Amino acid sequence: MYSGSVTSIDERNESAGLRVDPISLAHDNWSAAGWGDVADGMALVTSIMRVQQLMLARVEAVLRPFELTFARFEVLMLLHFSGRGSMPVGKIGERLQVHPASVTNAVQRLAAAGLVERSTNPDDGRSVLAAITTTGRDLALEAAEALNRDVFADVGVDAGDRVTLFGQLADWRAAHGDFSPDQGR
């Protein structure tokens, strides 16, 4: 069992008189605990998860006036960009990489709000088809404009770094089976 000294965030903040990055502190503590060989990996994973929380909070704040969550916004935009404005609910789940129950819930809530219509898929008679309504398309485009202006235009990373970071994250996602790089983007 580790018996060394671990500095708490409060101790570090009090002694320095300023706020310290808690993930850097965790990195130091990981190293001090004898896990220095994996401290960088822990800090990277924790940082990515924290950035996801920060970005989701920012996106959700912009979408709140539209009474949309990011998940529902994604469904609307996927339907908007689809050739026919409709798609089987199962295909929506595949494209958005979410559990079928989550997609079903999102589509039901969007339908209750009059933003999509649900119907039996005429191609197979078994699956459910979701189709964006005019109201849904208008709201999605309005919300997209707000996100473009208030989030996507300035994500806090320089333009060149955005391209590099996107490429690195895409490589990482492909290496972990998120998509097949030979299938293209």
- Angle 100-112/70-81 helices, nearest 10 degrees? 80
| pLDDT of 17 | 47
Average pLDDT along the chain: 90
Which tens digit of pLDDT belongs to each residue from 135-174?
999 999 999 999 999 999 999 999 999 999 999 999 999 9
What is the reported pTM? 0.83
What's the CATH fold of domain 67-154?
A: Arc Repressor Mutant, subunit A (1.10.10)
Own/partner long-range contacts of 73-76 (Cβ < 8 Å, ≥24 apart): 73/140, 73/143, 73/144, 73/147, 75/103, 75/106, 75/107, 75/110, 75/116, 75/130, 76/110, 76/115, 76/116, 76/132, 76/136, 76/137, 76/139, 76/140, 76/143
Residue 155: phi and psi, rounded to 5, are -90, 5
| pLDDT of 2 | 39
- pLDDT band of residue 183 (cuts 50, 70, 90) is low
The domain limits of the chain are 9-62, 67-154
